[in-house]
Amino acid sequence: MEAPTRKVTRRKKNEVDYFDSLPDDLLVEIFKTVEPNLLRFKARFVTEKWFNLITNIILLDHASLIIHKYGPSRRFRLLDITEERHGLKTKEQDIIIPYKGRIKCWCNEYLLIAVKKKDKSLYMFNLITKRGSHLPPCSKSCKHYSSECGVGLCYDESERVYKVIHVFTGPSIQCEILVIKSTRNMSEWKKVNGPDCMGQQQYNWNDPVSVKGRYLYWDVQCPKYLVSMDTVKETFCQIRLPGSDINRNQTYCMVEIGGFLALIHKFLYGQIDIWILKDFKKEEWERRYSIYGEMGLKIYHGSVVTCVRSERYILFIERGLYTGSGLCSFDLKEKIKKRLEIDFDLDEDCVAHSTTAKFR
């Protein structure tokens, strides 16, 4: 007896998609009931309309971190932070990552992890499918733990592929790229021209800050500029530091704020200036905020890690001998600092989420 055939009904070209034709405000209310990770990694890529609504309305008030502890008491925590009417709401959950190593970066649904193995030192892990794959060894066989090299992960929306960027020192500064269509479809490492603007000087290379999932920025401990890469064009350039007062006697850190690179400049003892790189090509900086006094001191001694995308709150780690370490928020509008209900041990670190800025 033949098995019954299943009739496949195809949508006619002129048939109306009633769900997609719903008013934007109603769609937003429906999206608010969906789990955040499904929105961020799956639902927003269904149509361009969904992408714009979810990215610019639902996820605009979100920030995501992974807090990780290494050693015998190894632990990974996924922290989702939402901006609400009266402040920030946090949601924390433990996650399992199958390989021991250090998380280097986080782009869309993928983590890039440096695994403590000589032959396979980089591992790409999908937070949604819970699957991953080892990457081919780089040409230098780096362990990816020292300041002699830095790695970044980005998404090229024009080619719809991920790229792993590896910059390292040698006789000159070198760069190679691994193109990944899927964890089962990878190219070989290819060499590209490194940042020749730096000459023969041997600066430190830490892991870069990612902006919009496309632009990578390195603080190479240079007194005049930082180094950037457009990962779609695969070209480097140097970006001059803003103002005339920033030098290596003072310190700064970099984070992504509202889709732009932000430089948190610890200008004077107790003064913090926040500069925004408004125009990548013109190297145009804007000093957006200045924080003084006691609040400036607390941020000065802390470590800024990310910002809620609405640009209202910055998040930083406060480390204290008597009060312990914790994750804090600073309201840039009201000038109020609050300690979030998230414990943070001295031996823990965190990585911020970077997301594609356009519909892919």
Over residues 48-74, the pLDDT tens digits come to 788 878 876 776 557 888 888 877 778
The lowest-confidence range among 10-14, 282-286, 337-341 is 10-14
The lowest-confidence range among 104-108, 272-276, 342-346, 353-357 is 353-357
pLDDT, the chain, mean: 79
Instruction: Give the 3-state secondary structure of residue 78.
Output: strand
Residue extents of the structural domains in the chain: 104-240
Tokens of 290: 């200045």
Our CA dihedral for 129, 81, 99, 189, rounded to 10 degrees, sits at: 80
| Rounded Cα gap, residues 63 and 350, in angstroms | 13
Contact (Cβ atoms closer than 8 angstroms) between residue 327 and residue 317: yes
More confident residue, 54 or 119: 54
Average pLDDT over residues 185-211: 75
| Rounded Cα gap, residues 113 and 6, in angstroms | 44
- How many Cβ atoms from other residues are within 10 Å of residue 165's Cβ? 21
Average pLDDT over residues 269-292: 85
- 209-211/75-84 β-pairing: unpaired
Query: In the sheet where 348-352 sits, what is the strand order?
Result: 87-95, 75-84, 62-69, 348-352
Closest CA to 117 of 99, 105, 129, 97: 99
What pLDDT does residue 200 have? Answer: 46
Tokens of 89: 């709401």
Closest CA to 198 of 170, 219, 221, 227: 227
Instruction: Give the 3-state secondary structure of residue 177.
Output: strand
pLDDT above 70: residue 14: no
Contact (Cβ atoms closer than 8 angstroms) between residue 207 and residue 114: no
CA max distance for the chain: 84
Q: What is the pTM of this model?
A: 0.79
Give the residue ranges of DSSP H helices in 32-90.
36-41, 48-53
Q: Which amino acid is at 266?
A: K
pLDDT above 50: residue 325: yes
Q: Per-residue confidence at 355, pLDDT binned at 50, 70, 90?
A: low
Q: Per-residue confidence at 177, pLDDT binned at 50, 70, 90?
A: very high
Contact (Cβ atoms closer than 8 angstroms) between residue 65 and residue 353: yes
| pLDDT tens digits, 136-169 | 888 877 766 665 688 999 988 888 899 999 988 7
Alpha carbon separation from 3 to 7, 8, 9, 10, 170 (Å, rounded): 12, 15, 19, 22, 65
